[in-house]
Amino acid sequence: MLKDCQKLILAPLAGYTDYPFRLLARENGADEVVTELVSANAIVRNNKKTLQIMRLYENERPASIQIFGSDPVVMGEAAVIAEQYSPLFIDINMGCPVRKVRSNGAGSALLDRPDIAGKIVKSVVDSVKKTPVSVKIRTGKSSENKSGLVVALLAEEFGATRITVHARTVLDGFNGPVDYDFVADLKKKVKVEVIGNGGITSLEQARTWLETGCDGLMIGRGAVGRPSIFHAIRAGMETFPPEKVETVIRHIDLVEQHLGQKGMGPMRAHLVYYSKGFGNAKSFRREVLAARSFAEWRTVVTEYMEVNAENYAAGALEGDFPSEMDRMEVANG
């Protein structure tokens, strides 16, 4: 189903796609990964936390860095710094619908300002020495305003070599209908790579996406609690099996090793989503939230997943993602 040249990519998700999860995705079949989105303003101010987010390890590559901002000059300066980390792409976020990003004229707000969007792409392309530049967009602000096409064409004109489309409008957020026709039309109009993103939680949805002619799929929410989704899609699995206990324990180990206690908050959120599809999930979530150590989590996960494996319902992974992630905000701006 999936051609060798068609990529499966882990999407950037603020608060979720840290190094441990990116590495886990690579180990489970993702061809590429992307960092959490990082603020260009924070980069040029040499914000310690932001610079740490951009750090890339050899065993997770190929990996890209996604930046966001509204000032073409600052975005160019940030790209120069980001290039020092040797990313696969420097990706420009022009699709984030979160209020904190939009209110500063960045993210999906740039779909309303194609002129500024074009200047940002040109500035980033002109500023880097050799790293290719990609752009991540949405279809537009609303179904009546599909300005994403204009921005995509400008991005190609000014030197971007890949365009990723979250095929929903800004107003639809993360739960609206996916506009496959928009991507199919864009693919006919540009020569650069087009990557499809949005609503991919099953093999059927992946197949529908590939019918657009896109060059690959980017998966974000569908991979949280399900890092093996990349392997499952590549293998053509009609029904996804439950996540392996070993995979979840591996995730816990990576977080403890690389993030320590500061990683317990993000890991707690991941563990909640690992229970999706299993029976007696409320009890598991209570134990996860009550645990105060990585060792406790290992015990809880092992006992719970082994006991409830027979009650696993693959279909529970399909459809809209839990609303908690709709309230996700960028923490490094």
Q: What one-character DSSP code corresponds to residue 235?
A: T
Contact yes or no for 56/35 (Cβ under 8 A): yes
Per-position DSSP letters for 126-160, written without gaps between them: HH-SS--EEEEEEEESBTTB-THHHHHHHHHHTT-
Catalytically annotated residue among 42, 51, 54, 96: 96
User: Helix-strand-coil percent breakdown of the chain, rounded to 5?
Assistant: 50, 15, 35
> Could you give the C-alpha distances from 132 to 25, 48, 135, 243, in angstroms and in order?
23, 25, 10, 35
Q: How far is residue 69's CA from residue 93's CA, in Å, rounded to a whole number?
A: 8
Contact yes or no for 199/173 (Cβ under 8 A): no
The reply to whether 96 belongs to the active site is: yes
Catalytic site residues?
A: 96
